[in-house]
């Protein structure tokens, strides 16, 4: 049974990324700025004449699109704009829009305002598809939102325009025979692609809010850690701690992660003599190398700050040097076991409203317990509190 589960897991891991996505997945592939409606909080990808929005879409599904062309703050009607929709690099639709002033505003933008919303549906066939939306003649750019129809905040009317995933094909008219062509073979009509401009400005709707658009989070990350560890034994003082951790995120929102961490801890102490027991002064050096497997929960905040908590089991390699004046040094190397609890807070340095960045700074507080069976001395139970910080890097 374990072998079958392992084979199934390897097969799933070997699948391409799109094969592991559920139908209805809409993933932005291009780097577009985000425009946010001041009142509703609706989020839109910014389109420019030279910067389209490219998506990976997993079908079958029907998407709901919402387009807002930008106008000058004092305009009531805007310059006509052409919207072009491509699937797999081929044009499937082209529409001419006449922007009209709306009541919305963009957050932090006083120089422009969005025109009234234009909404339509996009049919997506089964499997992965590359879609591209571009505007032509948009002097002040535009904003676009694209979500599955069943997740739209305000659905469009049932009779709204639907864009098929394939271009519309019509037959050219057959020419009438002329005296010079009588008796000649009648030419067959040649299918040609026709994209008739259709005004869409009469369709008004609301787009999804920023909170409803799922933020793309990391699947893999590496954490480099350094800090200070304080042991519970009063004879030992605190010491530096260094190490690293690799994390793998799971689930649709990547809120659960598995972590593999390795730390290096070293403590030293001089134990004074005990006349009552006739014990001379001794020196003890202990090095611990805990290797922990943890489960981490990331609180799914949409801000740059993200708290997390974790718990795990630990296997520790411990080495000890026990020295006395009247005897030779006793060196030991043993294995121990234990566990740990942790909590931390990370800050995203380069993230956006819709995607996490490549670098984060973090601070972490951890409590751990290790049972390391040294025989030369009584310091076998190690409870430590660690305060660590560092950088988290996406890989």
pLDDT of residue 302: 78
Does residue 198 lie within any of the structural domains?
A: yes
Whether residue 229 is contained in a domain is answered as yes
8 band by pLDDT with thresholds 50, 70 and 90: very low
Q: What band does 12 get if pLDDT is binned at 50, 70 and 90?
A: very low
As for how many domains the chain has, the answer is 2
Question: Which residues constitute the domain of residue 235?
Answer: 220-394
Question: Phi-psi category of 3—alpha, beta or left, where left has phi over 0 and alpha has psi -120 to 50?
Answer: alpha
59/208 same-domain check = yes
Q: Residue 306 is part of a domain; what is its CATH number?
A: 2.40.160.20
Residue 46 — pLDDT band, cuts 50, 70, 90?
Answer: very high
**Residues 200 and 247 placed together within one structural domain of the fold:** no
Do both 128 and 199 map to the same domain?
yes
- 247 and 133, same domain (yes or no): no
Q: 250 and 101 in one domain?
A: no
Q: Which two tokens stand for residue 207?
A: 């787009």
Whether 181 maps to a domain, the answer reads no
| 15-19, 69-73, 127-131: the lowest-pLDDT one | 15-19
Is 88 within the bounds of a domain? yes
Q: Are residues 244 and 357 in the same domain?
A: yes
Does residue 96 share a domain with residue 243? no
**pLDDT score of 303 more than 50:** yes
More confident residue, 107 or 181: 107
Q: Which of 392, 2, 370 is nearest to 217 (CA)?
A: 392
Residue 132 placed within a domain: yes
- Cβ–Cβ under 8 Å, residues 268 and 250: no
Which spans in the chain are helix H? 2-14
306 and 273 together in one domain: yes
- What secondary structure letter does DSSP report for 42? B
> Which of residues 148, 182, 212 is at a domain's end?
212
Share of the chain above pLDDT 90, in %: 50
In a domain, 184, yes or no: no
Encode pLDDT of 191-211 as tens digits: 444 444 444 544 444 445 555
Domain for residue 367, yes or no?
Answer: yes
Question: Does the pLDDT value for residue 213 go beyond 70?
Answer: no
- Kindly report the backbone phi and psi dihedral angles of residue 212, in degrees, each rounded to the nearest multiple of 5, phi listed first: -85, -15
> Is the domain of 206 the same as that of 296?
no
Q: In CATH, what number is assigned to the domain containing residue 202?
A: 2.60.120
Paired strand residues for 244: 224, 262
208 and 230 share a domain?
no
Let me know: does 261 contact 277? Beta carbons within 8 Å: no
Mean pLDDT to the nearest integer, 272-290: 84
What does the pLDDT read at residue 252? 78
Q: What is the pLDDT of residues 168-195, one digit of tens each?
A: 444 444 455 544 444 455 555 544 444 4
Q: Is the pLDDT assigned to residue 62 strictly greater than 50?
A: yes
Q: What is the CA radius of gyration of the chain?
A: 32
Both 265 and 199 in a single domain? no
First-to-last CA distance in the chain?
A: 33
Within a domain: 13: no
Cβ neighbours, 10 Å, residue 291 = 14
**194 and 312 part of one domain:** no
- Residue 278: band (very low, low, confident or very high) from pLDDT cuts 50, 70, 90: low
């Amino acid at each position: 049974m374990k072998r079958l589960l392992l084979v199934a897991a390897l097969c799933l891991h070997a699948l391409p990324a799109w094969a592991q996505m559920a139908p209805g997945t809409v993933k932005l592939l291009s780097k577009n700025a985000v425009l946010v409606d001041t009142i509703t909080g609706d989020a839109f990808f910014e389109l420019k004449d030279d910067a389209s929005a490219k998506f990976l879409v997993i079908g079958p599904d029907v998407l709901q699109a919402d387009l807002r062309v930008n106008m000058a703050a004092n305009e009531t009607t805007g310059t006509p704009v052409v919207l072009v929709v491509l699937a797999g690099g081929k044009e499937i639709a082209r529409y001419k829009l006449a922007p009209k002033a709306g009541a919305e505003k963009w957050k932090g933008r006083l120089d422009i305002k969005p025109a009234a919303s234009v909404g339509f549906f996009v049919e997506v066939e089964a499997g992965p598809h590359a879609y591209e939306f571009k505007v032509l003649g948009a002097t002040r750019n535009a904003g676009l939102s694209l979500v599955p129809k069943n997740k739209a905040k305000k659905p469009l009317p049932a009779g709204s325009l639907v864009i098929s995933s394939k271009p519309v094909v019509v037959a050219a008219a057959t020419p009438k025979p002329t005296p010079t062509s009588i008796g000649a073979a009648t030419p067959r009509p040649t299918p040609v692609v026709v994209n008739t401009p259709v005004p869409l400005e009469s369709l008004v709707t609301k787009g999804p809010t920023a909170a409803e658009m799922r933020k793309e989070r990391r699947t893999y990350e590496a954490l480099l850690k350094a800090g200070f560890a304080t042991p519970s034994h009063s004879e030992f003082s605190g010491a530096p701690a260094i190490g690293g951790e690799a994390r793998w995120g799971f689930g649709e929102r990547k809120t659960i992660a598995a972590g593999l961490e390795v730390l290096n801890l070293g403590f030293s102490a001089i134990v004074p003599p005990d006349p009552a027991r006739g014990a001379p002064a001794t020196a003890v050096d202990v090095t611990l190398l805990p290797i922990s497997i943890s489960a981490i929960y990331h609180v799914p905040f949409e801000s740059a700050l993200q708290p997390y908590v974790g718990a795990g089991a630990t296997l520790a390699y411990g080495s000890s040097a026990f020295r006395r004046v009247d005897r030779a040094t006793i060196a030991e190397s043993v294995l121990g076991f234990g566990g740990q609890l942790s909590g931390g807070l990370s800050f995203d340095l380069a993230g956006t409203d819709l995607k996490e960045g490549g670098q984060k700074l973090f601070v972490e507080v951890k409590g751990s317990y290790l049972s390391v069976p040294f025989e030369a001395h009584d310091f076998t139970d190690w409870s430590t509190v660690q305060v660590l910080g560092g950088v988290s890097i996406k890989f």
